[in-house]
A and B are shown apart, each in its own frame.
Chain A
Amino acid sequence: MNIVETMRQEGLRGDLPDFNIGDTVSVGVRITEGGKTRIQNFVGAVIAEQGTGLERTITVRKISGGVGVERIFPVESPNLEGITVTKKGRIRRAKLYYLRGRTGRKARIREARR
Chain B
Amino acid sequence: MIGLIGKKLGMTRRFQEDGRSVPVTVIEAGPCVVTQVKNERSDGYFAVQLGFGAKKPKNTPLPMQGHFRKVGSGPLRTVVEFRLDADAGYKPGDTVGVAVLAEVATVDVTGTTKGRGFAGNIKRHGHRRGPAGHGTKNVRMSGSIGMHTEPGRVLPGKAMAGHMGNKRETKRNLKVIAVDPERNLILVRGSVPGHKNGIVFIRPSR
B-binding residues in A (CB < 8 A): 2-4, 7-8, 30, 53-55, 74, 76-79
Tell whether, in the assembled complex, residue A55 and residue B12 are in contact, meaning their CB atoms are under 8 Å apart: yes
- Contacts of B27-42 to chain A: CB distance below 8 A: 28
Give bound CA distance, A2 to B10, whole Å.
10
Which A residues are in CB contact (< 8 Å) with B12?
4, 7-8, 53-55
Which A residues are in CB contact (< 8 Å) with B26?
3-4, 7
Which A residues are in CB contact (< 8 Å) with B13?
54-55, 74
Tell whether, in the assembled complex, residue B9 and residue A74 are in contact, meaning their CB atoms are under 8 Å apart: no
- Contacts of B54-70 to chain A: CB distance below 8 A: none
Q: For residue B10, which residue of chain A has the nearest CB?
A: A4
Stretch from B14-22, B149-157, B159-167 contacting the other chain: B14-22
Tell whether, in the assembled complex, residue A77 and residue B21 are in contact, meaning their CB atoms are under 8 Å apart: yes
Q: For residue A78, which residue of chain B has the nearest CB?
A: B19
Which A residues are in CB contact (< 8 Å) with B10?
2, 4
Tell whether, in the assembled complex, residue B28 and residue A74 are in contact, meaning their CB atoms are under 8 Å apart: no
Give bound CA distance, A55 to B23, whole Å.
10
Tell whether, in the assembled complex, residue B9 and residue A4 are in contact, meaning their CB atoms are under 8 Å apart: yes
Q: For residue A9, which residue of chain B has the nearest CB?
A: B12
Tell whether, in the assembled complex, residue A74 and residue B21 are in contact, meaning their CB atoms are under 8 Å apart: yes
Residue among B12, B17, B26 with max Cβ neighbours from chain A (10 Å): B12
Q: For residue A79, which residue of chain B has the nearest CB?
A: B19
Give bound CA distance, A30 to B15, whole Å.
15
8 closest Cβ contacts across the A-B interface? A79-B19, A4-B10, A78-B19, A4-B9, A4-B26, A8-B12, A54-B13, A78-B15
